Amino acid sequence: MSFDWRTATDAAVDLQYSPSRFGLKPLDEYLHEYHEMSAPWSGKDLVTPGAPLLVYIHGGYWQRLSAADSLFNAPDAARLGFSLHATEYTLAPHATVEQIVQECIDDVVRVLDRADASRVVLAGCSAGAHLATMVAMSPRSDGRIGMVALLSGIYDLRPVVRIDDNDALQLDAPRASALSPVLLPHTTYAPRAVVAVGRHEPGEFIRQSREYAAQLRSLGVATEEAVVDDRDHFNLPYDLLRTGTFVGDHVVSYLSNGEPNQ
């Protein structure tokens, strides 16, 4: 029988929205990797005006991580001649999710203005995929985002109201609905999308990814999707600029020549 967050117990919903319990290795090891891989690039300006641009928005349930630990794709970006920007935002509970969305829109618009890039991919993982989608839906993106790469995202926030991580977010049902891309009109969006989730993730993350990919297709967005083998919630972002991977092949192909991977 399929899982239904509306009728399941709070404990069952919390488990389904706790990807660290399904990972291929402990979360602390991934957090250490993020820091070690990003540290050599932290504080550097990785945006070259005119170069193809990857903008990455980190996850962490809107309450953890930072841009400084989200530069693990910098070696690949440098090798390929791409600009890279990691978006910073105030974490909950010091900001509401609504405020975080606005901060991300402001930051992405600023980097788009500065980068003057002919090709832009906006990517995010987990809560960052939600934020990337909210940015792409904003009229302020002004058609300058050519592709979104959405990894392990939460596109319906209503189940989050019932999990332990909501203690910092303080979402209620009306606010969660108002912040859920699956429930909002998409009057503005990128023309292309890559939607991916790891095989080693809770079923709810796989369901949400599949359903949002189908919604994007119904709206006319050229959408590629996959459940990626040998990936979980925390190592899937490493693929963003790695050729030979599902995500990387699509993102690199678009940034290199303006066409999705065939």
Inform me whether the pLDDT recorded for 3 exceeds 90: yes
Residue 2's pLDDT band (boundaries 50, 70, 90)? confident
CA distance 159 to 166: 10
Q: Which of 210, 226, 228 has the alpha carbon at shortest distance from 218?
A: 210
pTM listed for this prediction: 0.97
Supply the angle between the helices 97-115 and 127-137 in degrees, to the nearest 10: 60
In the numeric block, which tokens belong to residue 164?
Answer: 């332990």
> CB 93: neighbour CB atoms within 10 A?
12
Residue 93's pLDDT band (boundaries 50, 70, 90)? very high
pLDDT of residue 14: 97
pLDDT of residue 189: 96
In the numeric block, which tokens belong to residue 133?
Answer: 């989608």
Partner residues linked to 122 by β-bridges: 55, 148
pLDDT digits (tens, 9 = 90+) for 115-127: 999 999 999 999 9
Q: What is the DSSP letter of 227?
A: E
CA–CA–CA angle 3, 6, 11 (5° rounding): 70
What average pLDDT does the segment 15-29 reach?
A: 97
- What is the phi/psi pair of residue 165, to 5°? -65, -10
In the numeric block, which tokens belong to residue 69?
Answer: 């630990």
Contacts of 167 (CB under 8 A, 6+ apart): none
What average pLDDT does the segment 11-28 reach?
A: 97
What dihedral do alpha carbons 75, 243, 69, 144 form, nearest 10°?
100
Rg (CA), the chain: 17
34: three-class secondary structure by DSSP: helix
What percent of the chain is predicted at pLDDT more than 70?
98
pLDDT of residue 260: 63
Inform me whether the pLDDT recorded for 61 exceeds 60: yes
Inform me whether the pLDDT recorded for 259 exceeds 80: no
pLDDT of residue 262: 52
> CB 153: neighbour CB atoms within 10 A?
27
Domains along the chain with CATH numbers: 10-257 (3.40.50.1820)
Residue 258's pLDDT band (boundaries 50, 70, 90)? confident
CA distance 79 to 76: 5
pLDDT of residue 151: 98
Rounded to the nearest integer, the mean pLDDT of the chain is: 96
Inform me whether the pLDDT recorded for 101 exceeds 60: yes
Inform me whether the pLDDT recorded for 107 exceeds 70: yes
Residue 1's pLDDT band (boundaries 50, 70, 90)? low
pLDDT digits (tens, 9 = 90+) for 153-212: 999 999 999 999 999 999 999 999 999 999 999 999 999 999 999 999 999 999 999 999
